[in-house]
Amino acid sequence: MLFSISIVFQAGRSGGPARVISTASPQNASLRPSAAGPQSPLVAAPSSENAFRNVGFFILQIYLFFLMSRVVEFIDPQQRFHLAFIAAALAAVAAVLGMTFPYAFDTRIGIALAAFSAWAVFELPFSSWRGGSFHNLMDTWLKSYLTYIIVVSLIVSFGQLRKAFTCVALATAVIVFLSFKMGIAAEADDRLSFDTGMLANSNDLAMQLILGLPFILYLALDKHRAMVIRLLAGGVVPVLLYVVLRTGSRAGLIALVGMGIMLFFRSSGQRRMGMIVLGAILLAATPLLLNQDLRDRYGTILTGTSGKNMSDVSLSAAESQETRMELIVHALVLSAQNPIFGVGMGQFEPASATLSSTHGQAAMWHPVHSFLFLVLAETGIPGAIFYTAAVVFCMRAVFKISKFTRSRKDLAIASEVSEALLYSYVGFVICMLFSPGAYLYQFPMLAALVTALYRFTRSQMRSEVGQAFSLPATARGFR
């Protein structure tokens, strides 16, 4: 017997009697508990707590839009009004008053992120520059970790998770629009970026768009949406891909290829043929879409630094690749010298510069372009273990949910959500393998969405596994 996914949250810490809420919402239609099987009840919270949750989720949607679209950096470039921070603070207050903040600590993902945050605080006195590490901890990581807490705490239903997906998709579409409206192309190599804010780096812009791409595809393919919304979302996709290619981000291109390969092997034979044809068309159209400088830059993915008669752009890209490898070596050396506490959060660049000076080399003053090496060098082996555990737990959870819901008509909506989150997470992790953005908001935000989906599906998966093992061995063999 197949059971539908039940969305479980228990708020009644007040000790009063709980009542079961109906799941008759159209958004949760495919998620109603089966009448024939055991159910995980939806427990109603006191009305005051529900009010805080509803207001909190409304604020959360505003915060997610601000966070993912970076529109505040254009509305208030001087950060005089701190709009995103105010929205986050109000959402955090709502999570506390609504008694939902414990959700941030009831999964392995949440525990790993909490452990990393605690370790970052604990190892602060051992930093090579305590003041600089304190600044990075307060202004970067703890704000990012707050994002995880409020997103997990305030998404308490599957319908709200779908709305959060819509916020991310809309924010991504805004970035695509702003890229054409306010984006600038570098004179040296024609790479597209913004002139200010977090997306002033072309690689960061590509990573942000790749993260949001599956959410836009989710809107475009969602049969429960209005046709106008689906058409608009579908129209954004090719433009987004063009913008990613215009950034000249080699990590972004690798991420797109990786997502495409995963989709290819997870698709049927007919769809695979369509993907092959589409890939051939895109490859043939590349000379029309990208100028020679960008094509040369992407070409270094295959040629590396060994090509002959390389253009100036190719030489610059190859030198950048060599520098990144040197920085990885520095990260390993610094990790060996400081295996427990690292050099301190945000202190890799000065530590790397000092290391270069001791060997008579020019200081590079760049971060190591790999989030794992950065965390290892700055927070030591314990910090790297906690952070890597969170990354792995997220990956395991989203693959597990995707496998559980795939090809299940009764879980069609959950399957669509999990597939979008899976491809977004895989593309993001590939980009992060070449990015120093370990402490930024993207990973905690994605981890929060994975956690929310896992919480909603966890009891259902466990109940079906339990039922399977309760059957006779011969019956289990034919399930």
Question: How many other C-beta atoms are found inside a 10 Å radius of the C-beta of residue 353?
Answer: 17
Question: How many other C-beta atoms are found inside a 10 Å radius of the C-beta of residue 309?
Answer: 5
Interatomic CA distance for residues 298 and 294, integer angstroms: 6
Secondary-structure percent of the chain, ordered helix, strand, coil, rounded to 5: 70, 0, 25
Interatomic CA distance for residues 397 and 385, integer angstroms: 18
Instruction: Record the tokens describing residue 269, joined without a space.
Output: 């034979």
Stretch (H or E) spanning 184: strand 184-185
Distance linking the first and last C-alpha atoms of the chain: 10
Buried b (16+ CB within 10 A) or exposed e, 323-341: ebeebbebbeebbeebeeb
pTM for the model stands at 0.85
DSSP strands (E only) in 260-403: none
Q: pLDDT tens digits, the chain, 479 residues: what are they?
A: 333 333 333 333 333 333 222 333 433 443 443 333 333 333 344 555 688 888 999 999 999 999 999 999 888 888 888 899 999 999 999 999 888 888 999 999 999 999 999 999 999 999 999 999 999 999 999 999 999 999 999 999 889 999 999 999 999 999 999 998 888 877 666 788 898 888 999 999 999 999 999 999 999 999 889 999 999 999 999 999 999 999 999 999 999 999 999 999 988 777 888 888 888 888 888 778 888 888 888 888 877 655 556 666 677 777 777 888 899 999 999 999 999 999 999 999 999 999 988 888 888 888 999 999 999 999 999 999 999 999 999 999 999 999 988 878 778 888 899 999 999 999 999 999 999 999 999 999 999 999 999 998 887 787 775 554 444 443 343 33
The sign one gets for the Cα dihedral 133, 134, 137, 143 is: negative
Output 275-282 pairs: Cβ under 8 A, ≥24 positions apart: none
Q: Longest Cα pair distance anywhere in the chain, in angstroms?
A: 77
- Within 201-304, where are the H helices? 202-221, 227-246, 250-265, 269-289, 292-303
> Phi and psi for 185 in degrees, rounded to 5?
-105, 130
Interatomic CA distance for residues 198 and 178, integer angstroms: 14
Instruction: Record the tokens describing residue 240, joined without a space.
Output: 């987004």
Instruction: Record the tokens describing residue 162, joined without a space.
Output: 């779908």
> Phi and psi for 4 in degrees, rounded to 5?
-85, 160
Query: C-alpha angle with apex 335: 334 to 336, nearest 5 degrees?
Result: 90
